[in-house]
Structure 1
Amino acid sequence: MITDAFASRASTSTASTLHAQHGALLAVGLDSDVTVTGPGGARVRARVLVVPPDVAHAVACPGPSLGILYDPEVVPHVAAYARRRAGAFAVEGRLGARLGEALLAHRASLGRADVLDGLAREAAAWLAREAEARAPDGRVARVLEALRDPTADPRLAVPPRVSPAHLRALFARDVGLPIRTFRLWRRLLTALSALSALARVDATSAAHAAGFADLAHFSRTCRRMLGYSPTDLRSRLLRT
């Protein structure tokens, strides 16, 4: 399921390719550990893991797991918690146990959208208590709001007396990636939301509605940013 603040996916198993998504990932394994592998082969393995936004990695879990991807701008406290380290790390101690127990308690109903929504919001509240977030520059915030619409022209949100170069620098500083890449990320989420919300919408129609040139561009972007093709994301889902 995809909302404005997060996307969540309960899977029977997980095996993504190397990718970097603009989101803070919380991954929890039900019966086995989740393994995150970096570009150089370094691995982190634990029952509960967090991956910061815009960090290249691959995720694997042989059994059922839950992945929640939080929007760094909508849920900045979760992103701030994830960015405490340069790469993926295990969530241990009381917080890790609490997150794992919450998932296991709802194991029989992880295929329900309301359950996924509740778990994602509860986990965000727990993680938010562990970190403080810094609000983006107001000029950057205006562009971010404009880019919620993937078809919008971000130039219309540029404040007066701000050069394009200065705005690009501010955006990269506060968001962590270039404006063009962020716009592509928003298009990807829009297309995936259409696919998940209305099964009768085919991938090609979803791609065009979100502003992609064609289905191939949509599929390449999905693999690069999420580690799966659009079809892969629909497979291996836990259902009730």
Structure 2
Amino acid sequence: MGRLNESRIGAVIADAFAVRASTAMRSTLHAEHGAAILVGLEGEVTVTGPGGAAVRGRVVVVPPDVWHAASSPGPTLGLLYDPEEMPHVAGHARLHGGPYPLEGRLLSRLDGAVAAHSASLSRPDVLDGLAREVAAWLARESPRRAPDGRVARVLEALRDPAADRRLAVSRAGISEAHLQALFARDVGLPIRTFQLWRRLLAALVAFSRKDATSAAHAAGFADLAHFSRTCRRMLGYSPSELRSGLMK
């Protein structure tokens, strides 16, 4: 598990999820390959699509690979789950076809858990525990669908940001066009984009212990500018913005 900021810890990255507790939130338009649960600790979260339509709520769920911008004027908790590692969370997020406010029993349970830990949301162990608790709730209520076995093998290979994408594709045993179609169906984005997403996550983990340029190179980005552009396009922030505004 990596810590995004050693001096002002308000975020953690684990194998299957990331959590960020921030003093406020305002992202640019982006599409992340993760199921997001955004929690306004003192007010509402607003999620806006490319056409301007907005969804508001104390907690808003955003499915993977959906273009959106998100804002919240006060302290905010953002949970982002890996769709392949935690397909039950992604399945729940996709139920409505787009962003939606969390309601009913799940909202009450999340409110209670956040309130119980409100004074400790800067602690990595607390953030980690909350993320796992929310995932466990959703596991009992969400649809599951395993990816095609050939897709699963490519996914496993490309979790290494240094993996040779062409080699992984060639070992699938089917044509590249067929594999691309299966991959898009089961994962929700092209193979090349998935590999870029994995490189971004690796760079952000490296950024917790290296400078941004070194982190970019370690994850396979050509330069810092490419890392920064990818981070903004996929997460709505620059790498440095992700490290700022964290709760003490």
Could you tell me the TM-score, scaled by structure 2's length? 0.93
The alignment status of 1:26 with 2:37, answered yes or no, reads yes
- In structure 1, what is the equivalent of residue 26 of structure 2? 15
Alignment match of 2:238 (pick from 215, 219, 229): 229
- The residue identity in structure 1 corresponding to 2:105 is R
Q: What is the deviation of 1:128?
A: 1.8
TM alignment of 1:129-168, pairs within 5 A: 129-158=140-169, 159=171, 161-168=173-180
Alignment match of 2:78 (pick from 55, 67, 76): 67
- In structure 2, what is the equivalent of residue 184 of structure 1? 196
Q: What is the deviation of 1:157?
A: 3.0
Q: Quick one: distance in 1 between partners of 2:55 and 2:48?
A: 7
Q: What is the deviation of 1:130?
A: 1.9
- In structure 2, what is the equivalent of residue 114 of structure 1? 125
Alpha carbons 1:111, 1:238 under 8 Å: kept? yes
Unpaired segments ≥5 residues, structure 2 = 1-11
Q: Quick one: distance in 2 between partners of 1:22 and 1:161?
A: 26
The secondary structure found in structure 2 opposite 1:155 is: helix
Q: Quick one: distance in 2 between partners of 1:6 and 1:150?
A: 17
Unpaired segments ≥5 residues, structure 1 = none
- The residue identity in structure 2 corresponding to 1:96 is L
- The residue identity in structure 2 corresponding to 1:54 is D
CA RMSD of aligned residues (A): 0.9
Q: Quick one: distance in 1 between partners of 2:111 and 2:229?
A: 33
Q: Which stretches of structure 1, 4 residues or longer, exceed 6 Å deviation after superposition?
A: none
Alpha carbons 1:47, 1:100 under 8 Å: kept? no
For residues 121-155 of structure 1, the C-alpha deviation after alignment (integer angstroms, 9 at most, x for no partner) is: 00011122221110000000000000110010133
Q: Quick one: distance in 2 between partners of 1:103 and 1:25?
A: 16
Alpha carbons 1:34, 1:48 under 8 Å: kept? yes
Q: What is the deviation of 1:160?
A: 5.4
TM alignment of 1:211-222, pairs within 5 A: 211-222=220-231
- The residue identity in structure 2 corresponding to 1:118 is G
- In structure 1, what is the equivalent of residue 55 of structure 2? 44
The alignment status of 1:172 with 2:213, answered yes or no, reads no
Alignment match of 1:57 (pick from 68, 71, 79): 68
Alignment match of 1:84 (pick from 80, 83, 95): 95
Q: Quick one: distance in 1 between partners of 2:52 and 2:139?
A: 30
- The residue identity in structure 2 corresponding to 1:186 is R
